[in-house]
Amino acid sequence: MPDDFNLKSFLAELPNLPGVYRHIDAQGEVLYVGKARDLKRRVASYFQKTHSSPRITHMVARVVRLEVTVTRSEAEALLLENNLIKRLKPRYNIIFRDDKSYPYLMLSGHETPRIAYYRGSTSGKGRYFGPYPNAWAVRETIQILQRVFRLRTCEDSVYANRSRPCLLYQIGRCSAPCVDLISAEAYQADVDRAVRFLDGQATQVLRDIEQRMHDASAALDFEQAAALRDQMGALAKVLQQQSMEKVGNDDVDVIAVASAGGRVCVNLAMIRGGRHLGDKPFFPTHTHDDSAGDVLAAFVAQHYLDTGMPPVLVCSHPLPDPDLIGLLAEQTGVKARVLIKPQGVRKTWLEQATKNAELALARLLSESSARAARTLALATALELDTDEAALDALHIECFDISHTSGEATQASCVVYQHHAMQPSLYRRYNIAGITPGDDYAAMRQVLTRRFARVADGLADMPSVVLIDGGKGQVEVARQVFVELGLDTRSIVGVAKGEGRKVGLETLVFVDGRPPVALGIESAALMLVAQIRDEAHRFAITGMRAQRAKARNVSRLEEIEGVGARTRQKLLARFGGFSGVVDASIDDLRSVDGISAQLAERIYLALR
């Protein structure tokens, strides 16, 4: 403990109130964040002679300072704890990757609602079904609704400007409300049946369609009866294809924890309206010697503060904190029932979720072993620290330049860390103010922009800076680093071999080390090639998107009579340049300010 921090006095002054505490080391890094119903009792427990695990002993030995925040309730403390864990990522907390929001199936709030894949806030107009574990599950459900209920999926701009039914109508996937081939009332009835299907009432919907078919037949409306027969057949086929048995209209999350090889997998299976929607595995970090119950509690706390909690949770292990569900209920408004020893089909669900957790963990360990071996090989080749912690923290950034004959120049930066590429940390840089095609100037600009932040203390310095290029590009990097006062030993160039053949690449350094030819069988070269190719791919896709956008806008600008305001109206009405290209002359005429002559001119110019 530092001289100015008196632990005994600090503990004595702690209140017997709920709140959040933080353990901090000598470098000011937050080691652990926790919540407590009673701060005084909970924080003091860390400084007793015996601890519950070696991990706690190791952590407490590094603590030099503590901070606490008093909250009005334990539920408020839970929310603050979760926010701090996500922001600070303390090394002794169990942390689940902050994934993108879960996808939903949306039924819009229009007079003729559309079905759509959706991510984001569910507070807008319309109805939202889910969440679904992945995009595939949403799209599969959309296909079912198209096949059975023939609901529209088109964007509003397309729907409002149709003059004839689209291909989806021709193949029996839409009833074409856009051109009144179905009345608004009949379409809404199909929407209501789709909602009942999504709510788990598929059998009742099937009976309803069957009754309507018989009524139509009795009324000698054989065309309608045939349409209903086909709809009933499609729905019956869907129900037969359901791979999991239904249990009423249950909304259930099944959570199974499996551990092996020092790693843990939490597998989440989602059941909505009695339908099993699929699984999603999570691999938390910093689990150390935590029990399965501790990992489960961390997942439940972090996951359900951001995602809707169903009324039933089926878990593979008991929650160590019996009050956790109640605390979440205070924040989310849903009090879930937790089942540890389920019966019937729920038991089957849990067994399957557990098996899937074990399989996902086995795949991860196999892949992780291979990735870790490549990281070790590269660290050895570059004469870097090769202990386990250093390899996991090894931070590599790779830079590449891409353009087409000097047009739309972009630089890419991709990141490799924790034995894997980290797409969320990728960055693109638009390059301007240079001579077109001058790759050296482009590399100087991107490196200066990126590492000026490091020199100013606003960003961390990577362990290795890979430059996709030979001596010339590496020399530019060396000059930038010298100007910024940074260590040039982290710079590594990847020079292509004779004939640019893969496997003949050479690593080039700026600190006096001779070039290294790793050899075609080298695991280190495989990793370098993967990182370099990813940087190239990322740069190419960004450059092409930028170039396409610029060219598309310029094509509209070149049309006589299309000014900035008209161009903006066109892009807004048709949802982008491709929509303008697909529009008919009549569609173009419907835009305010566009005459018949101008519509025809635009139509012909874009062909």
Question: Which pLDDT tens digit goes with each residue over 540-586?
Answer: 776 565 555 555 555 676 677 777 777 777 777 776 677 777 778 87
What is the residue-averaged pLDDT of the chain? 81
Q: What are phi and psi of 567, to 5 degrees?
A: -60, -45
What pLDDT score does 135 carry? Answer: 80
Residue 390 CA to residue 394 CA, distance in Å, equals: 6
**pLDDT, mean of residues 508-520:** 83
Q: What is the pLDDT of residue 413?
A: 92
CA atoms within 13 A on the CB side of 90: 22
Residue 224: per-residue pLDDT:
65
Structure confidence at residue 166 (pLDDT): 86
pLDDT digits (tens, 9 = 90+) for 308-329: 788 899 999 999 888 888 888 8
| 489: CB partners within 8 A, 6+ apart | 509, 510, 511
Specify the range with the lowest mean pLDDT, choosing from 117-121, 175-179, 267-271, 507-511: 117-121
Comparing CA positions, the residue from 77, 15, 57 lying closest to residue 330 is: 77
The pLDDT, as a whole number, for residue 265 is 92
pLDDT at position 587: 78
pLDDT grade for 371, boundaries at 50, 70 and 90: confident
Amino acid at 172: G
Q: Per-residue pLDDT tens for 393-431?
A: 899 999 988 866 556 678 889 999 988 889 889 998 888
Decide which of 3.30.1490.100, 3.90.79.10, 3.30.420.340, 3.40.50.300 is the CATH code for 252-363: 3.30.420.340
Single out the residue of 92, 91, 72, 69 nearest to residue 81, CA to CA: 69
DSSP string over 206-264: HHHHHHHHHHHHHTT-HHHHHHHHHHHHHHHHHHHH--S---TT--EEEEEEEEETTEE
pLDDT at 22: 92
Asked if 437 contacts 406 with a C-beta cutoff of 8 angstroms, the reply is yes
Higher model confidence: residue 137 or residue 152? 152
Architecture of the domain delimited by 390-532: 2-Layer Sandwich (3.30)
Judged by phi (left if over 0) then psi (alpha if -120 to 50, else beta), residue 519 lies in left
Burial of 332 from C-beta contacts in 10 A (0-12 / 13-18 / 19+) = middle
| CA distance to 101, 312, 353, per residue, from 307 (Å) | 8, 14, 20
Give 169 or 436, the one with higher predicted confidence.
169
The DSSP call for residue 285 is: B
Residue 429: what pLDDT? Answer: 87
Q: What is the pLDDT of residue 246?
A: 46
pLDDT (tens digit per residue) in 426-469: 998 888 888 877 889 989 999 999 999 999 888 889 999 999 87
pLDDT of 237: 55
Higher-confidence residue of 605 and 465: namely: 465
**Quick one: average pLDDT of 509-514?**
85
Same fold, 7-88 and 252-363: no
Instruction: Give the pLDDT score at 386.
Output: 86
Q: Where are the alpha helices (DSSP H) in 382-464?
A: 388-393, 439-455
State the pLDDT confidence band at 244, using cuts at 50, 70 and 90.
very low
pLDDT given at position 438: 85
CA dihedral (568, 572, 578, 580) positive or negative: negative
Arithmetic mean of pLDDT, 3-27? 83
Show me where the domains of the chain are located.
7-88, 252-363, 390-532, 558-605
CATH code linked to domain 7-88? 3.40.1440.10
Residues pairing with 265 in the sheet: 258
Whether the Cβ atoms of residue 315 and residue 296 lie closer than 8 Å to each other: yes
The pLDDT value recorded for residue 245 is 41
CA proximity to 182, closest of 153, 150, 210, 144: 150
Q: Residues near 287 by Cβ (< 8 Å), separated by ≥ 6?
A: 94, 259, 263, 264, 295
CB-CB contact of 264 with 284 (8 Å): yes
Q: How confident is the model at residue 478 (pLDDT cuts 50, 70, 90)?
A: very high
| 558-605: CATH class | mainly alpha
